[in-house]
């Protein structure tokens, strides 16, 4: 058991896994191009070998850590990604065939600096949860209002609730919103009030959300770095620390002097 | 009276109201889809029940707080939102039927963290007022200049002041501006000077405005958090506070020593 | 002379000028709509009265300050704006008729908080000059390369240097760039290298430029506010200042003690 | 040798080179417009003279610094840029003819403040490397998934891997994504899941990347400025430094007093 644990945690093994992921990424890329059937068979075989290596890696991890391995969300992610690739992927699940490619995302799991980026982003999400909730409530209200007002005016954009959700998502990226607006305004001229209000409010809230999360994510990284620096920094270099230390010495001095004098 | 006040402020009551708002949001969403007349009648009845609960909530609040309840802008917001839903909404006011959906926005009133986000945004607006005023003056000038110069050249975009305001709003989101510009430039080749100047100035000022407000909103939230932290932090942990406290002790020591010596 | 200076600097006079500017803004807006010839004549007369007031204001200022008034760039701006409105504006200068509207921009001159915003933006521009220069060199190189490579492939976008400058400006706002790129790539397939490189480099440099200027402008405003706060803050409230003051007292104490003891 | 080194480093020589680059930029610009064959011949001759001056400059530098000149990446850049202009540029290398224009980029090398901007951007890139890697992995996965799912549905956008890479790059700039999405969704209705996920994830990660690099680049410049300020600032002006100095004096005083008393 111990020797397996050593193997898994060894740098050589981790580098080997990263190499296999990279090779697999190239293979999956090549399989998406037009190749001869013979090459495709070869690529398929190589892909199966890569997949087998991943299965063995997870099996080894499970042998060492048992179910405690699922406490690390990255292991859960790896498990699901490899699990998807093992599903039959025929009939109703055929779309999963495409998701097999997500195996390349294992690169994020395997390389610490990329893992930190993703962890940072996820850690910053709760800070943006309230803004996201406000944005979603605004978006939901706007969708129902738009269906009620423009259902008959512009059925291809606001025909039903699903279409309206997608149309408003497009408008939140600002992409092509003038065409949609002009189409509606041609028939109900006051509709510009809805569109201008929607554009201003959601653009502002979306920017607020994105900035909040990004600034949080950057601050978190910076704070960690600063704390590391502080721990490193020789405390005696800081004039404040120096002053405090000197004051402690002087207080003792003064008390000694007073005692001397009182005698 | 007191028991009503207790009821209103109880966590159970507040959670109940949040639950009713969420249920009402789902009902209003379902009413915007194509449902059978029977289902629609059922949804309509459920919607009326939710509305009744909101009316009772506001009546209870009024019973306890009387007109002082309108000092809190959130209560005013709730009152207006529920009031809109009670209007007949027929004839010229039929557009208010759509605004009934704004009841879902009560979720922002009911959940403190979302309320704080909106309060933060509103509090940051005055800081951006000057930039917004500069932007509006630029926008107003540009609209009059555009009408004067391009009224005959491109009547569908710059035919009258209202249309021009909307066209320039579209251009401020950068959406489809090359089409509008090409249309005008084809007939008056020097128009590119107007468009390039307008795009650069308004994009820059808009970004300035958005950034200013967002950074203000984030700073405000951060400052509040920092002040809370400061209040929490044990003061004696701060080397500066420690030093000041020690100095006060030492000053007293020194004065005592001098007196001793002078004797 | 002194009484004129008093008049010009009085709050009442300044508020009167702001009111005239606002009235003039409404008049100029109304003149851009379709009105009856009679109304137009009335608006024209009112506009002339406003203009006369501005001319008198500048004449008064000149009477008091003489040529030293042109040391303040805002006075130069006012002078030019009012000067444009006095030009005949016929024949080759007819475009200046449209620029008369810029008189509304005098609002920025007249209201201190708006003036500060514009001053802040201008003050931040030098900090962005180097980035702007790099951006311009990149843009100039890209234009010449594009003309050389795509002149024959897509003459409507890259036919000559002027057209190419405008096309690349459009692409820098990202607006409609895929259409332009697809048009070129259809004939010379490797052109995607140029477009992808251009989009990435200029988007990044433009953002860098905008951010730099905006952050500078905000920092400048914040620094001014902080310095004002510092000046206001009672110095003795700051623990550091308190400590320094106490230390000075204690140093004197100690020297006195030593002298006493040495005696 | 020494006199050549003096010449190269003299301000006059550097200004002369900047002037030649600027003249060359104008010449290259003029050559991209429609001129008479006679003018073209003149411009060509002038261009050759500029090029000759650059070759002589590099030769002089090489004479002084030998191969150690290539330790400075800016010299390598200059060498490559001038080298490209000397290549025959016919047949398969004809595209290099267009790259001759990059000589104008030498302006960045020659003017220190522009050089600092570019250095700052390059220095900030490593900080964004992890985010860029995450973005690239997401982009690569999305491309393979899109080819697998939409190859037959929308061959003009997702026909093969190369086309898909370009289509997804367009979508990352948000430009025209609704048209591409509508085209695919018309045939496979669930495709909106892919597009919405892709837009949200890549927009967020791209913004994260751009902000990270820009903020890093600005922080770096600011830190350098702050350190310069700190070095300049008279240390005795800082109350903390003053206090520390006073404390050192007082400690000596106290020790002297104690010794006196102990005697």
Tens digit of pLDDT for each residue in C214-263? 777 666 666 666 666 556 554 444 556 566 666 766 777 777 777 777 66
Mean pLDDT of all residues in chain B? 82
CA distance B234 to chain C (A): 16
3-state SS, residue D72? coil
**Could you give the CA distance from residue C115 to residue C107 in angstroms, rounded to a whole number?**
9
Q: Between chain B and chain C, how many beta carbons pairs sit less than 8 Å apart?
A: 118
Average pLDDT on C175-192 reads: 89
Report the neighbours of B using a cutoff of 3 or more CB pairs below 8 angstroms: A, C
Q: Confirm if D20 and D104 have CB atoms less than 8 A apart.
A: no
Question: B29 contacts in A (CB within 8 Å)?
Answer: 140, 144, 161
**Could you give the CA distance from residue A158 to residue A175 in angstroms, rounded to a whole number?**
16
pLDDT of residue D87: 76
pLDDT of residue A235: 43
**Could you give the CA distance from residue A40 to residue A43 in angstroms, rounded to a whole number?**
5
- Of the partner residues C140, C247, C257, the one whose CB lies closest to the CB of residue D104: C140
Q: Confirm if A60 and A4 have CB atoms less than 8 A apart.
A: yes
Scanning every residue of chain C, which has its alpha carbon at the shortest distance from the alpha carbon of B215? C218
CB contact under 8 A, B250 and A247: yes
pLDDT tens per residue, range A17-29: 999 999 999 998 8
Distance (Å) of CA D246 to CA A73, B243, B254, C108: 55, 14, 16, 52
**Could you give the CA distance from residue D250 to residue C248 in angstroms, rounded to a whole number?**
10
- Of the partner residues B29, B247, B256, the one whose CB lies closest to the CB of residue A161: B29
CA distance A182 to chain D (A): 16
Q: Confirm if C180 and C154 have CB atoms less than 8 A apart.
A: yes
CB contact under 8 A, B29 and A160: no
**Could you give the CA distance from residue D147 to residue B12 in angstroms, rounded to a whole number?**
52
What are the structural domain ranges in chain A? 2-110, 125-262
What's the CATH number for C125-262? 1.10.287.70
- Of the partner residues B98, B107, B121, the one whose CB lies closest to the CB of residue A145: B98
C139 falls in which pLDDT band (50, 70, 90)?
very high
- Of the partner residues A143, A211, A254, the one whose CB lies closest to the CB of residue B253: A254
Distance (Å) of CA A254 to CA B71, C94, C254: 59, 87, 10
pLDDT tens per residue, range D33-60: 888 889 889 998 999 999 999 999 988 8
With 80 as the cut, is the pLDDT of residue D88 above it?
no
Global pTM reads 0.81
Question: C260 contacts in D (CB within 8 Å)?
Answer: none
With 90 as the cut, is the pLDDT of residue D196 above it?
yes
Nearest by Cα to D154 from D191, D122, D115: D191
Scanning every residue of chain D, which has its alpha carbon at the shortest distance from the alpha carbon of C253? D250
pLDDT tens per residue, range A83-132: 888 877 666 666 777 778 888 888 888 888 888 888 887 877 777 888 88
Question: A108 contacts in D (CB within 8 Å)?
Answer: 134, 137
Report the neighbours of A using a cutoff of 3 or more CB pairs below 8 angstroms: B, D
pLDDT of residue B89: 61
Alpha helices in B103-176 (DSSP H): 106-110, 112-150, 155-158, 161-172
Among A146-155, C3-12, C154-163, D139-148, the least confident range: C3-12
- Of the partner residues A117, A210, A257, the one whose CB lies closest to the CB of residue D261: A257
Name the stretches of chain A with pLDDT < 50. 234-237
pLDDT tens per residue, range C3-29: 888 888 888 888 999 999 999 999 988
CA pseudo-torsion sign B146, B152, B154, B159: positive
Question: D244 contacts in A (CB within 8 Å)?
Answer: 239, 242-243, 246
- Of the partner residues B178, B205, B258, the one whose CB lies closest to the CB of residue C170: B178
Name the stretches of chain B with pLDDT < 50. 234-237
pLDDT tens per residue, range D162-192: 899 999 999 999 988 999 999 899 888 888 9
pLDDT of residue D234: 43
CB contact under 8 A, C28 and B144: yes
Higher-pLDDT residue of B96, D23? D23
% of chain C exceeding 70 in pLDDT: 84
Mean pLDDT of all residues in chain D? 82
C131 falls in which pLDDT band (50, 70, 90)?
confident
CA distance D1 to chain C (A): 34
Q: Is the ipTM of this complex over 0.90?
A: no
CB contact under 8 A, B246 and A247: yes
Scanning every residue of chain B, which has its alpha carbon at the shortest distance from the alpha carbon of C240? B240
Tell me, which fold does domain B2-110 have in CATH? 1.20.120
pLDDT of residue D243: 65
Task: Identify the DSSP state of C152.
Answer: T
CB contact under 8 A, B140 and C98: no
- Of the partner residues B29, B34, B260, the one whose CB lies closest to the CB of residue A144: B29
With 80 as the cut, is the pLDDT of residue C97 above it?
no
In the block, tokens 């309840």 appear at B69
pLDDT tens per residue, range C49-94: 999 999 999 888 888 888 888 888 888 888 888 888 887 766 666 6
CB contact under 8 A, C178 and D175: yes
Question: C247 contacts in D (CB within 8 Å)?
Answer: 243, 246-247, 250
pLDDT of residue A114: 85
Give long-range contacts, CB 8 A cutoff, 24+ apart: A50-57: A50/A20, A50/A21, A50/A23, A50/A24, A50/A103, A51/A24, A51/A82, A51/A85, A51/A86, A51/A103, A53/A17, A53/A20, A54/A20, A54/A78, A54/A82, A54/A85, A54/A103, A54/A106, A55/A82, A55/A86, A57/A8, A57/A17
D232 falls in which pLDDT band (50, 70, 90)?
low
Phi/psi of residue B88, nearest 5 degrees: -60, -35
């Amino acid at each position: 058991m111990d020797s397996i644990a050593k193997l898994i945690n060894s740098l050589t093994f981790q580098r080997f896994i990263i190499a296999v992921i990279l090779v697999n990424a190239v293979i999956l890329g090549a399989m998406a191009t037009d190749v001869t059937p013979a090459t495709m068979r070869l690529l398929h075989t190589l892909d199966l070998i890569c997949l087998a290596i991943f299965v063995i890696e997870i099996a080894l991890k499970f042998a060492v850590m048992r179910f405690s391995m699922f406490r690390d969300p990255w292991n859960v992610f790896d498990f699901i990604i490899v699990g998807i690739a093992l599903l039959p992927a025929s009939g109703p699940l055929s779309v999963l065939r495409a998701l097999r490619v997500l195996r390349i995302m294992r690169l994020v799991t395997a390389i610490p600096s990329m893992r930190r980026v993703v962890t940072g982003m996820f850690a910053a999400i709760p800070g943006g949860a309230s803004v996201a909730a406000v944005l979603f409530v605004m978006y939901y209200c706007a969708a129902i209002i738009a269906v009620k007002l423009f259902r008959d005016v512009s059925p291809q954009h606001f025909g039903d609730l699903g279409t309206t959700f997608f149309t408003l998502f497009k408008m939140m990226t600002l992409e092509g919103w003038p065409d949609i607006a002009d189409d509606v305004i041609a028939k109900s001229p006051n509709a510009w009030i809805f569109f201008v209000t929607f554009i201003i409010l959601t653009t502002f809230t979306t920017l607020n959300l994105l900035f909040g999360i990004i600034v949080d994510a950057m601050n978190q990284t910076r704070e960690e770095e600063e704390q590391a620096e502080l721990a490193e920094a020789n405390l005696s270099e800081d004039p404040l620390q120096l002053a405090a230390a000197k004051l402690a010495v002087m207080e003792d001095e003064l008390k000694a002097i007073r005692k001397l004098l009182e005698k």
